[in-house]
Amino acid sequence: MALERSGWEVAFANDIALTKFEMYRSNFDHRDFFLGDVREIRARSLPKVALATASFPCIDLSLAGNRDGLNGRHSSAYWEFHRIITEMGRHRPFVVVLENVVGLLSSRGGKDLNSILDSLGKLGYSCDVIMVDAVNFVPQSRPRLFIVGSLSPASPRNSELQPHPARPKQLIQFVRDNPRLRWNHLILPPLPTRKHDLEDIIENFEEKSPVWWEPRRQVHLFHQMSLRHKRVLNALTELKKKSFATVYKRVRPNGCMAEIRADGIAGCLRTPRGGSSKQFVIQAGYGRWSVRNLTAREYARLQGVPDSFEINLPYNQALFGFGDAVCVPAVGWVIDYCVNPLLDS
């Protein structure tokens, strides 16, 4: 979606998950989609393209995952992407873009990110690494790492790099710690300022709607909160206006805890797996509060997806698709200001 908005035409797509394919098929021309294992793909079967992108599994890299690293069972899918680009030979794309969680920056002390950049450099790609948070575009905290590589000549400016919202200090430090990598540092414009808060994307439901949790379940959630989070909820309840917050469950040393976020921003959306994955929305004010699940449409809006996008799938299936996706306007910013200028030049 982000690429098409920026003037690109999708020539090929792949995922192993049937649930994602069904969502794709409902909204895009699915004739370009290969449903299956990336290990089955051979370069000779692919069209010639100017850009190749990959969002490979983060399970082994994420701070919330198992931290097995780039050679772990899931995140090692990156090497299949690398194999395909290698097989393309002289027809390899001019630009590649990789996306993953910020945990990639620290995975195995930075060795995994170094391995990716080194492997791309050996294919002739000069790279930059930036960090873009969806919160600059939508009311969702979702920082992600983007690697942008091109067949342009290396143009390192390691010593000149200045802190930027997309280049925090830890990222600049990684660059300076790895001067032998093939760098091509991009000129970055300012990131935009978000124009909407959580309440702007919330769907309205009547108080008697069955979407609201029944009292016993609501009380149980309250008891899962620490004293600090109970105070936050009580303060929202006492307001003489309707307000919204998100709540999610985290596994802490003393058990499963419910934690509220009341700053107008949702926490990072995840796939609906495990006890800490789903987020809920609280409506509070005028002396009372209610809680319900975030809807699939709210998930879509938090990813910058317009309401014209069809969601005709079961609830958990839709949440899986959106929770595993990349924020559309965040990708659009990367394409407009980091990728397209490389092609223009």
Block means of pLDDT (10 residues each) for the chain, 345 residues, are 95 94 94 95 96 82 58 76 96 97 90 95 97 98 97 88 94 95 95 96 95 97 96 97 93 86 94 68 97 96 97 92 94 97 90
Q: What CA–CA distance (Å, rounded) separates 187 from 167?
A: 11
If asked whether residues 53 and 128 sit together in one domain, one would say: yes
pLDDT of residue 73: 63
Residues in a beta bridge with 266: 140
pLDDT of residue 108: 83
If asked whether residues 150 and 263 sit together in one domain, one would say: no
If asked whether residues 116 and 252 sit together in one domain, one would say: no
Number of domains in the chain: 2
pLDDT of residue 61: 61
Residue 198 belongs to a domain: no
DSSP 239-275: SSS-EEEEEEEEEETTEEEEEEE-SS-B-----S-ST
C-alpha distance from residue 235 to each of 110, 228, 246, 265, 291 (Å): 42, 11, 15, 17, 16
Cα-to-chain-centroid distance, residue 95: 20
pTM here is 0.93
Cβ–Cβ under 8 Å, residues 138 and 303? yes
pLDDT of residue 275: 45
Q: Which of 294, 310, 334 is the last residue of a domain?
A: 294
pLDDT of residue 47: 96
If asked whether residues 248 and 151 sit together in one domain, one would say: no
CATH of the domain at 168: 3.40.50.150
* Domain span holding position 186: 2-192+320-344
